[in-house]
Chain A
Amino acid sequence: MEFAFTEEQQMIRDTAADFLAEVSTSEAVRAAMNTEAGFEAALWERVCQEMFWQAIHIPEEHGGMGLGYVELVAMLEQMGRYLFCSPFFSTVCLGVNALRLAGSDAQQAQYLPAIVAGKTATLAYAAANGGWGSDAITATCTPSGEGFVLQGSYRYVSDGHTADILIVAARAPGSTGDEGVSLFVVDANSAGITRRWLPTMDQTRKQAEITLDGVSVAADALMGEAGKAWGPLQSVLDLARVAIAADQVGGAQQSLDITVDYLQERVQFGRVIASYQAVKHKAADMMVKVEAGRSALYYAACVADEALSGGALGAELAEAASVAKAWCSDAYFFNAGCGIQLFGGVGFTAEYDIQLYFKRAKSTETFLGDAAFHRERLAQQILDGEAAA
């Protein structure tokens, strides 16, 4: 048993941290977040060409690096720490995961090399305010000739307004719940697709609304078997939850670090305020939250790794993802919230970065299910004798 990063994984993490410290400065984040796209195209191109991050866990046969989820999580943690504004999460943690778990050989051969080459992707499944379970899928797919016609709308789609490749979930008309769900991969600019940017409170994670109005797709757009996609989609969502938890751990850590740095400088009553126990104890509680979150995250990363590679531990994916997402959502919000309190008045200003973490904490908490959602999911498993749904 060796529940720690290998030297290679540490190197990947440190390289990511060094690069992000250079390119994802407070100024760069603020410039990117004030655009509709939410990222700087030239920087993303540099990430794809110099760092090759988009290819991290794409199999080598498709031109990727063929690394695992632990390496991915190590990088995501740093992106969360630096509030990195990019289509990385949507492309890699939604798009690539969906293609790997649900895509046919032909779809993988077509789209994964495209992503390696710099195309972006995302996943749309949930309608407005429908929660994050299978009931959230209200768009429909109706067989038509050799293909299907897609109809319906989605909200909260990460980078949905900028992605090149869309993976969408739709259900057979009249079906409910886990039944009748299918996944399709389509060009985002296909006829009948309308995409609208949704301005958000947290400006570092862009969201969009997507409407499909009689979108005709060929049979080869269908991913896997018609009507049987909820299982694989659920695993894709769980992999994404682990990725979000990584972002949250990074953000929770940085919230603590920048707060402690400030406390060490700020003098009141003739002492740095970091020397007061009322303040120290709050900071200690913040460290407990983030270290416990890190333990949950790394375990979930190992599980996710095996879920993708077919290992036995992969069977725990739903549980591990919910444990990590429940804890890390609360931890990030706690740390960023305490951060504002400990910064005092300046924590309430736009100028200091702690507010950016506070807002991102809330948006990542809500996305793909907050802590209460995941606790209920676990409760069903523990108390109702059902597998995590």
Chain B
Amino acid sequence: MKLSFSPQDEQFREEVAQWLADNLCGEFECVRHRGGPGDEHHRVAERKAWERKLAEGGWTCIGWPKEYGGRGASIEQQVIFNEEYARAGGPGRIGHIGETLAGPTIIAFGSDEQKQKYLPGILRGEVFWCQGYSEPSAGSDLANVKTRAEFDEAAGKWRINGQKVWTSLAHESEYCFVIARTDPQSVGHKGLGFFLVTMDQPGVTVRPIEQLTGTSEFNEVFFDDAECDAADIVGAPGDGWKVAMGLLGFERGVSTLGQQMLFQNEFDAIVKLAKDNGAAKNPALRQRIADAHVGLKILRYNSMRMLSGGGDGSLQKEAMIYKLYWATWHRNLGKLAMDVLGQESEILDEAPYELNRLQSMYLFTRSDTIYGGTNQIQRNIIAERALGMPREPRG
């Protein structure tokens, strides 16, 4: 076991930190530490400009292979980038869905034409993507997709009809990757297609969902005869599930250490608050603050194990527990923040419903244990895939 980074990696770290210090200032000062889950509505125009700034410096898509315009950065370097980015207060990445999901999928499964058409925009930080998976009747049961795609022979295009939901940043995106049923007779994983759909067209309607935070970053997306060019299906009709699931292996948790730096910033804010308002002297809260500290440390060690694990992309045990662990930890942190705030936790910054940072975090963390696979689904996955326990009979 070896916990340190190589001298070359440490040099890379300095380069990243320096670039961020030189560029994340001035017009971008207003987006430092902003954006990301729970705060996606903040200063979108500035954050899009920031994406272009990143691209100018060559800091978008650093993990992509060089032949597609990336840096071919190693896992270690990607970790370092994410860590330094979060440490510097880099804003939540509006481009992350394109960079970490759409792009890698197109690189792995897309045609040459699709690569030429879509990858440069992602690299330049100019074109944004959203993910069209969940539907009203396809949440945890993701394969129960009802959205249909029919090929219109006369027009030479696919026509998509149906509804997606919980689509982050749909209203800020140029494209959506959509799984839709190409075989109307099919059920479950079979008969699905993976489509690259233009959002700016008459057949696509985006309606924001007002959350319990009073803000909206998720949307409903309606497809009414939305068009998709014949060339814009990834893989063959029927391959959609394979393509969609192929995404899961890509990320390998390189962004997790960056996520933890954000968590560390939140934790530090709670510690400062506790020292200022006297909560730090309350024995019960001391225990919980220390417990949060233990949990965050372990989250980091978990990621380090995960990143050091087998290069074949197969999920190891530490990777399988990751979502359940961090989501539960973060939700508890939200509760802790309110308990440290005490009676002040109820008082808003402004009417009608302007939450402060910790209040917003507290409310938003209730979604952490739901999106991206609920805690219950995570437990099923762990029990079935890691522990080999039988599946519940399904209807």
B311 to chain A, nearest CB (A): 11
Specify which of A260, A287, A301 is in contact with B321 (CB 8 Å cutoff): A287
Q: Taking A3-B307, A292-B298 as contacts, is the C-beta distance between A280 and B3 under 8 angstroms?
A: no
Query: Which of A81-89, A170-178, A188-196, A376-384 interfaces with chain B?
Result: A376-384
- B384 contacts chain A at the CB level, 8 A cutoff: yes
- A296 contacts chain B at the CB level, 8 A cutoff: yes
- Contact across chains for A288 and B294 when beta carbons are under 8 A apart: no
Residues of A close to B304: CB separation below 8 A: 1, 3, 295, 299
- Contact across chains for A281 and B376 when beta carbons are under 8 A apart: yes
Q: Taking A1-B2, A291-B321 as contacts, is the C-beta distance between A275 and B290 under 8 angstroms?
A: no
Q: Taking A3-B301, A295-B301, A372-B287 as contacts, is the C-beta distance between A284 and B294 under 8 angstroms?
A: no
B381 to chain A, nearest CB (A): 8
- B325 contacts chain A at the CB level, 8 A cutoff: yes
Q: Taking A285-B379, A376-B286, A382-B289 as contacts, is the C-beta distance between A3 and B305 under 8 angstroms?
A: yes
The complex places the Cα of A4 from the Cα of B287 at a distance, in Å, of 31
Q: Taking A3-B304, A274-B390 as contacts, is the C-beta distance between A378 and B294 under 8 angstroms?
A: yes
- Complex interface bits, A114-126 against B, C-beta within 8 A gives 1, otherwise 0: 0000000000000
- Contact across chains for A379 and B305 when beta carbons are under 8 A apart: no
For chain B, what secondary structure do more than half of its interface residues adopt (helix, strand, loop), or is it mixed?
Answer: helix
A278 to chain B, nearest CB (A): 10
- Contact across chains for A287 and B387 when beta carbons are under 8 A apart: yes
- Contact across chains for A1 and B387 when beta carbons are under 8 A apart: no
- A313 contacts chain B at the CB level, 8 A cutoff: yes
Residues of A close to B324: CB separation below 8 A: 284, 288
- A111 contacts chain B at the CB level, 8 A cutoff: no
- Contact across chains for A280 and B293 when beta carbons are under 8 A apart: no
- Complex interface bits, A83-103 against B, C-beta within 8 A gives 1, otherwise 0: 000000000000000000000
The complex places the Cα of A301 from the Cα of B3 at a distance, in Å, of 11
Residues of B close to A146: CB separation below 8 A: none
- Complex interface bits, A243-268 against B, C-beta within 8 A gives 1, otherwise 0: 00000000000001000100110000
- Complex interface bits, B280-313 against A, C-beta within 8 A gives 1, otherwise 0: 1001001101110110011001101101110000
- Complex interface bits, B369-394 against A, C-beta within 8 A gives 1, otherwise 0: 00000001011101110111111110
The complex places the Cα of A277 from the Cα of B304 at a distance, in Å, of 30
Residues of A close to B380: CB separation below 8 A: 277, 280-281, 284
Q: How large is the interface on A (under 10, 10 to 19, 20 to 34, 35 or more residues)?
A: 35 or more
A2-20, CB < 8 A from B:
2-6, 9
Specify which of B2, B382, B391 is in contact with A275 (CB 8 Å cutoff): B391
- Contact across chains for B287 and A375 when beta carbons are under 8 A apart: yes
- Contact across chains for B2 and A283 when beta carbons are under 8 A apart: no
Residues of A close to B387: CB separation below 8 A: 256, 260, 280, 283-284, 287
Q: How large is the interface on B (under 10, 10 to 19, 20 to 34, 35 or more residues)?
A: 35 or more
The complex places the Cα of A276 from the Cα of B283 at a distance, in Å, of 39
- Contact across chains for B302 and A292 when beta carbons are under 8 A apart: yes
- B207 contacts chain A at the CB level, 8 A cutoff: no
- B185 contacts chain A at the CB level, 8 A cutoff: no
- A150 contacts chain B at the CB level, 8 A cutoff: no
Residues of B close to A163: CB separation below 8 A: none
Give A293's nearest chain B residue, CB to CB. B298
- Contact across chains for A383 and B76 when beta carbons are under 8 A apart: no
- Contact across chains for A323 and B294 when beta carbons are under 8 A apart: yes
B residues in contact (CB < 8 Å) with A? 1-5, 9, 76, 79, 271, 274-275, 280, 283, 286-287, 289-291, 293-294, 297-298, 301-302, 304-305, 307-309, 317-318, 320-321, 324-325, 376, 378-380, 382-384, 386-393
- The contact sample of 13 A-B pairs, CB cut-off 8 A, is A1-B9, A274-B390, A277-B376, A280-B380, A284-B380, A288-B321, A291-B321, A294-B305, A295-B304, A296-B297, A296-B298, A382-B271, A383-B274
13 further A-B contacts with Cβ under 8 Å, apart from A382-B290, A383-B274, are: A1-B79, A4-B309, A275-B393, A276-B392, A277-B380, A283-B387, A284-B386, A287-B386, A296-B298, A379-B286, A383-B271, A383-B280, A384-B280
A residues in contact (CB < 8 Å) with B? 1-6, 9, 70, 256, 260, 263-264, 271-272, 274-277, 279-281, 283-285, 287-288, 291-296, 298-299, 301-302, 313, 323, 326-327, 372, 374-376, 378-379, 382-384
